[in-house]
Amino acid sequence: MQQPDIMFNMSQLKAICFAIASYEDLNLLIHHLAEGATKTFKAKGCSIMLLDEIEKQLFTVSSFGLSEEYQQKGPVFAKDKDSALIKGEPVYVDDMQTFPGIQYPEAAKAEGIVSILSIPIKYRGAVQGVIRIYQDVSRNFHPEDIDSLKLLGVNLGLVIENNGLKNFVEQVKIAMGNLPLRIMGE
């Protein structure tokens, strides 16, 4: 079998890493990453999904190239042992109709999705979500592209964790500002 072409070049990867480090708006960053992955891999679409640890469910924070109908197909649960979310490693499914862990194969077929590459979003080894690249054909990914996407997942995990920590600190500051002065020792 012929080795697939590398789709992610070093200059693109550098640009993405610098963007991740400098974006102020996390939602805009995630949208640009979904759009960029779709275009780079000439994919049907891309979604970036985060894990709700309480509900054990993934929720989409951004997508590109996918219809609203497909995105509203139903909840995506984190339960399949062969998923990137559980394994913590990239998982490629070459046929969405025959892979046993796919929750909505009929919706994938209606959307024209044949295959999917899922890359975990991680922070210090803990999986926070996945980057899913949907293809309208079954295709191989170059190992260098997989490594670049893994790096993207780790960097995105760092930004998401940092954003959550920043939001937590802001909430503490607001709560502290609302305390009576006598409790603050003033």
Evaluate whether residue 158 is within a structural domain: yes
Evaluate whether residue 3 is within a structural domain: no
Evaluate whether residue 30 is within a structural domain: yes
Q: How many domains does the chain have?
A: 1
Q: What is the mean pLDDT of the chain?
A: 84
pTM of this structure: 0.83
State yes or no: pLDDT of 173 exceeds 70. no
CATH code for the domain of 74: 3.30.450.40
State yes or no: pLDDT of 165 exceeds 60. no
The more confidently predicted of residues 118 and 177 is 118
pLDDT band at 22 (very low <50, low <70, confident <90, very high): confident
Evaluate whether residue 122 is within a structural domain: yes
The single-letter DSSP state of residue 23 is -
The pLDDT of residue 174:
58
Token pair of 103 as six digits:
């929750």
Q: Which domain holds residue 133?
A: 10-184
Evaluate whether residue 164 is within a structural domain: yes
pLDDT band at 46 (very low <50, low <70, confident <90, very high): very high
In tens, the pLDDT along 27-40 reads: 888 898 999 999 99
pLDDT band at 171 (very low <50, low <70, confident <90, very high): low
Evaluate whether residue 1 is within a structural domain: no
Can you tell me the distance from the alpha carbon of 22 to that of 167, in angstroms, rounded to the nearest whole number?
Answer: 17
Can you tell me the distance from the alpha carbon of 10 to that of 30, in angstroms, rounded to the nearest whole number?
Answer: 20
Summarize the confidence of residues 108-117 as an average pLDDT.
95
Parallel, antiparallel or unpaired: strands 45-52 and 57-64: antiparallel
Evaluate whether residue 99 is within a structural domain: yes
Evaluate whether residue 2 is within a structural domain: no
